[in-house]
Homo-oligomer: A and B are copies of this chain.
Amino acid sequence: MLVSPSTVAERYRSEIRQEIRALQTQLKVVGLLSGDYGPSHTYAEYTRKACEDLGIAYELRDVPRLQLEDAIIEANQDPGVHGIMVYYPIFGNERDNFIKDLVDYRKDIEGLNSFWLRKLYENERTIEGASRSGKAIVPCTALAIIKILEANGAYGSSGTRPAEHKTATIFNRSEVVGRPLAVMMSNDGANVYSFDEFGPLLYRDGQSSETNISRSEALAASDVVITGVPSKNFPKIRAGEISSHATCLNFATIKNFEPDAETKAGIFIPRVGPVTVAMCMRNTLRLYRSYFAS
């Protein structure tokens, strides 16, 4: 069964819209676009529409890549800006990591700053020292994926371990999606096999350990299969590798499942973008309340 994330996104948007309407302040998000990576322009337009729909002001700033760092520092210091969204890739190398950490964590609506990752990896779920207590921010795509799984019954939605007894396999262990997602799902009780080009790790209760499990063993055991491999060299997942009750989700911009696997899956979710953006807007609201509301 093919499931679009739009319904899930709309549910969150209507909650956020109401909360925004009740605020005294006009929230503002600044998007920073550099370089000429085509999908970034599309994503920026998409963010603009989502912001406007929710009652958040959005300003897109198109800056030469060598001026991006100064533009981030300016937005960090501007009290009229509540959230900053940077469209990656910029340089396509480790400089992009430097840029992620240059965004003030109090305006990091995508949750990519290592300040938030450190909190997540140490399972600190609240903000300390903020003007009022609040929940910590987590990376928006990882959060969006969990919300989509929840909405589709592939994840419990209550209790402290809603994913107890679930087994998941994730192909991607980036610091922005795959690793935080494995930590979050395993903190929720799941056994998570995490694969990248260097091999697998097993996550349980937020901790990882080495494992020799093969791709086919991990897939055969999984209730949930999540892919995010931006390479055409990745051998796409075939129908024979997954169980017919598995919930499968791909967040890469290219296909990671063969068509027969998409058809065989109990539920197949081909993209997460709309929910990711909704989670960024929810983060904007949370960060505002934690750090800027008087």
Contacts and interface: CB of A to CB of B under 8 A. Distances in A.
A165 interface: no
Contact of A94 (B66, B97, B198): B97
Interface string A86-97: 000001111101
A52 interface: no
Contacts of A196: 93
A69 B118 CA distance: 10
Contacts of A198: 91-93
A88 to B, nearest CB: 12
A98 interface: yes
A174 to B, nearest CB: 7
Given A92-B198, A196-B93, A175 B66 contact: no
Given A94-B94, A97-B97, A69 B121 contact: yes
Interface in A53-81: 64, 66, 69
Contact of A114 (B64, B98, B210): B98
A117 interface: yes
Nearest to A64: B210
Contacts of A208: 66
A160 interface: no
Given A64-B210, A94-B97, A102-B114, 8 more contacts: A91-B198, A92-B198, A95-B175, A95-B179, A97-B97, A97-B175, A98-B114, A101-B101
